């Protein structure tokens, strides 16, 4: 089943004193995300990620286009009970304690009164802030606020969760916990749509990713597909104190690290290198094809269109 | 009231109660009541007049200041602080949010007025040693002050839905001042002819007629308040507030959040 369907969603803001000057924030965007998938929305700052999320959450009005979530219009209040949202750098009512805030959100989300208390307690424990449950949010650190943000996003057991830069402001342990949380959500069958510019997170977590830049969708695909692309090169690692002369004579550059030597060669040269190693009785450690990384794909998609086309040609 | 509106209203009320500025204003109002007692003691035979004039005027002014001070930030502060993001992404309609905010603030003012009214009645008891039937007019005056708060809150919320807090405060305070002089403005419009007269009449009827809500003098003299005036003022305040809130909703529904 399709969880999120974005149909030519477009946004142009009017700026300037008289609100006359148009500023394009999002070109017509068309995306489909299946239920149960973790989808990464990648792009640099100002690319249009937050604008897209605002349009999906009904916080901004689209200039054109529409979106459907779980088969319903994204502005339908019924669908709002099924979605969770963590904004970028979330702000909360800092006069409330974490427990009061989550209780308030549970009320607004329609969590039955009989379940509210237990649900809030469980959620505070899940994100690791149970010991600060009765502390006012104005005394919370940025990392703790991010945890509150995650708790409020999944408090009402939504089927689709939107996270805008969820790792922002977190220390390495916090980032790891968020990654685990997203993996848990996936194992529970939730759909997760998260925007980030931290590519290692996207590579580790996402089934599919899209790259957006300057308000325009530049590419989309499954992480497996994008990172399986081979460059026609192999990386060979073997045990030695220095590269054999026969290798350097071929013009192959070697990187030496302790008693290990690492060379990257064309696939056609692979047998030649292996023959040299056999002849010199050097122990082979590994031989692996060089794959594209998500970073390479991302960087390629961020290139200006002309140079990108030129490179392809 | 639907439950979501009630939740927003309660949260607004709780925020106001936890706001230290609100506590300071209440304390200041109580101090003013104490001053009224002092003035009452040094006045001869006009203790009631002085205590009620000073007390009720203080209740009105401090309530209006609170209404403007909090009302102007009700929507704009939430947009600026982005606290709205996690609220409006839930099954809460924008109009429910605006109406909830309005009820939260007016609820705060009603509670605030009740405390200040207790102060006024205690001061009255202190100078008169007893209550009598004429004191019902004081209750009517307090009721009219609360109705006045409804209008001021609705106006503050209306301006807050599209303007900055400072501009909202200026607009709301200006309308409050003009509104207290609405009777004079209508009289002036009545005596003006031509297009100027038409425009002035339109302006005079557009601004809230807050002068009709000021019966402080009448209450201080113990004069009875006509039931028809109570009915008229109630209907007028409810209608005027409803129109201002509707305007706020219409504007807020179309707003893009930053």
Query: Is residue A213 within 8 Å of A304, Cβ to Cβ?
Result: no
A138 shares contact with chain B (CB less than 8 Å) = no
Q: What is the pLDDT of residue A312?
A: 34
Measure Cα distances from B79 to A138, A201, B105, B163 in Å.
Answer: 18, 30, 17, 11
Question: Which residues of chain A are within 8 Å of residue B257 when distances are taken between CB atoms?
Answer: 54, 59-60
pLDDT at A308: 44
d(C-alpha A193, C-alpha A4), whole Å? 9
This model of the complex carries an ipTM of 0.87
Q: Is the pLDDT of residue A224 over 90?
A: no
Nearest by CB: B86 against A60, A87, A107 = A87
Q: Residue B205 corresponds to which tokens in the numbers above?
A: 């009827």
Question: How far apart, in whole angstroms, are the C-alpha atoms of residue B149 and residue B164?
Answer: 21
- CB contact, 8 Å: A60 with chain B? yes
What pLDDT does residue A311 have?
Answer: 36
| All residues at 6 or more sequence positions from A252 whose CB lies less than 8 Å from its CB, including other chains | A243, A263, A265, A269, A273
Instruction: Read off the pLDDT of residues A61-72 as tens digits, 9 standing for 90 and up.
Output: 999 999 999 999
Question: Least CB-CB distance to B15: which of A54, A58, A95?
Answer: A95
Q: How far apart, in whole angstroms, are the C-alpha atoms of residue B253 and residue B258?
A: 14
* Average pLDDT of the residues of chain A: 88
Beta strands in A58-156 (DSSP E): 64-69, 72-73, 83-86
Q: Does A238 touch chain B (CB under 8 A)?
A: no
Q: What is the pLDDT along chain B (258 residues), one digit of tens a residue?
A: 589 999 999 999 999 888 765 676 677 677 766 776 777 667 666 778 888 888 899 899 889 998 998 888 888 888 888 899 999 999 999 999 999 999 999 999 999 899 888 888 888 888 778 888 878 899 999 999 999 999 999 999 999 988 888 999 999 999 999 999 988 888 888 888 888 888 888 888 899 999 999 999 898 888 888 999 999 999 999 999 999 999 999 999 988 887
Predicted confidence at residue B1, as pLDDT, reads 59
- The lowest-confidence range among A33-37, A237-241, B49-53, B230-234 is B49-53
pLDDT 10s digits, A144-170:
899 999 999 999 999 999 999 998 778
Q: How high is the pLDDT of residue B25?
A: 66
The domain limits of chain B are: 3-254
Query: Stretch A276-287: mean pLDDT, rounded?
Result: 92
Q: What is the pLDDT of residue B197?
A: 84
Instruction: Give the DSSP per-residue string, B172-236.
Output: HHHHHHHHHTHHHHHHHHHT--HHHHHHHHHHHHHS--GGGG--HHHHHTT----HHHHHHHHHH
Structure confidence at residue A284 (pLDDT): 92
CA-based R_g, chain B, Å = 20
Q: Does B174 touch chain A (CB under 8 A)?
A: no
Give the residue-averaged pLDDT of A294-304: 78
pLDDT of the residue at B28: 67
Residue A103, pLDDT > 70, answer yes
Are the beta carbons of B48 and B132 closer than 8 angstroms? no
N residues, chain B: 258
User: What percent of chain A stands above pLDDT 70?
Assistant: 96
Give the pTM.
0.84
Cβ distance A156 to A84 under 8 Å? yes
pLDDT surpasses 50 at A211: yes
Q: Going from the N-terminus, what domains does chain A have, and what CATH number goes with each?
A: 2-226 (3.40.50.300), 230-291 (3.30.70.980)
Cβ proximity of B139 and B59 under 8 Å: no
Quick check: A310 pLDDT over 50? no
Length in residues, chain A: 313
Q: Does B254 touch chain A (CB under 8 A)?
A: yes
What contacts 24+ positions apart, CB below 8 Å, involve B19-26?
A: B19/A95, B19/B70, B21/B69, B22/B66, B22/B70, B22/B108, B22/B112, B25/B62, B25/B65, B25/B66, B26/B62, B26/B112, B26/B115, B26/B116
Q: What is the pLDDT of residue A137?
A: 94
**Model confidence over A114-124: pLDDT tens digits?**
999 999 999 99
- Tokens encoding B189: 């419009």
Phi, psi of B236 (to 5 degrees): -60, -45
């Amino acid at each position: 089943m399709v969880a999120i369907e974005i149909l030519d969603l477009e946004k142009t803001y009017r700026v300037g004193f008289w609100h006359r000057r148009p500023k394009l924030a999002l070109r017509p965007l068309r995306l489909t995300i299946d239920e149960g998938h973790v989808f990464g929305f990648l792009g640099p700052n100002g690319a249009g990620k937050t604008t897209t999320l605002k349009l999906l959450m009904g916080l901004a009005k689209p200039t054109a286009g529409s979106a459907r979530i779980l088969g319903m219009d994204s502005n339908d209040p019924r669908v709002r009970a099924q979605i969770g949202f963590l904004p970028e750098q979330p702000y909360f009512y800092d006069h409330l304690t974490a427990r009061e805030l989550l209780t308030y959100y549970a009320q607004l989300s329609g969590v039955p009164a009989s379940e509210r208390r237990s649900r809030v307690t469980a959620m505070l424990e899940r994100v690791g802030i149970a010991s600060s449950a009765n502390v006012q949010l104005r005394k919370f650190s940025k990392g703790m606020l991010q945890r509150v943000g995650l708790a409020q996003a999944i408090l009402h057991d939504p089927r689709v969760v939107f996270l805008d830069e969820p790792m922002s402001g977190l220390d390495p342990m916090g980032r790891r916990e968020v990654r685990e949380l997203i993996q848990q959500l996936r194992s529970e069958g939730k759909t997760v749509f998260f925007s980030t510019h931290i590519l290692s997170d996207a590579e580790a977590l996402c089934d599919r990713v899209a790259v957006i830049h300057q308000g325009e969708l530049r590419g989309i695909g499954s992480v497996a597909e994008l990172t399986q692309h081979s460059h026609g090169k192999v990386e060979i690692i073997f045990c030695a104190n220095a590269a054999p002369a026969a290798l350097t004579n071929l013009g192959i550059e070697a990187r030496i690290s302790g008693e290990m030597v690492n060379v990257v060669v064309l696939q056609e040269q692979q047998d030649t290198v292996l023959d040299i190693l056999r002849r010199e009785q050097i122990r082979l450690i590994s031989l692996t094809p060089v794959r594209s990384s998500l970073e390479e794909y991302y960087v390629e998609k961020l290139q200006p269109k002309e140079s990108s086309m030129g490179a392809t040609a | 009231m639907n439950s979501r509106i009630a939740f927003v209203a309660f949260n607004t009320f709780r925020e106001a109660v936890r706001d230290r500025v609100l506590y300071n204003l209440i304390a200041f109002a109580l101090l003013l009541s104490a001053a009224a007692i002092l003035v009452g003691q040094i006045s001869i035979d006009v203790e009631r007049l002085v205590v009620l004039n000073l007390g009720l005027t203080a209740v009105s002014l401090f309530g209006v200041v609170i209404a403007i001070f909090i009302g102007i930030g009700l929507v704009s502060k939430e947009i600026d602080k982005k606290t709205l993001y996690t609220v409006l992404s839930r099954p809460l309609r924008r109009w429910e949010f605006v109406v909830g905010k309005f009820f939260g603030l007016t609820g705060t003012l009603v509670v605030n007025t009740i405390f200040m009214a207790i102060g006024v009645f205690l001061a009255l008891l202190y100078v008169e040693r007893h209550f009598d039937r004429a004191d019902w007019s004081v209750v009517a005056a307090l009721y009219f002050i609360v109705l006045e708060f409804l209008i001021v809150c609705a106006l503050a919320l209306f301006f807050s839905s599209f303007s900055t807090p400072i501009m909202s405060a200026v607009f709301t305070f200006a309308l409050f001042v003009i509104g207290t002089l609405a009777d004079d403005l209508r009289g002036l419009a009545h005596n003006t002819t031509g297009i100027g007269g038409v425009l002035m009449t339109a302006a005079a009827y557009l601004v809230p007629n807050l002068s009709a809500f000021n019966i402080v003098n009448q209450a201080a003299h113990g004069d009875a308040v006509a039931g028809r005036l109570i009915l008229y003022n109630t209907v007028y305040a409810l209608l005027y507030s409803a129109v201002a809130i509707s305007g706020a909703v219409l504007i807020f529904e179309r707003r893009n959040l930053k």
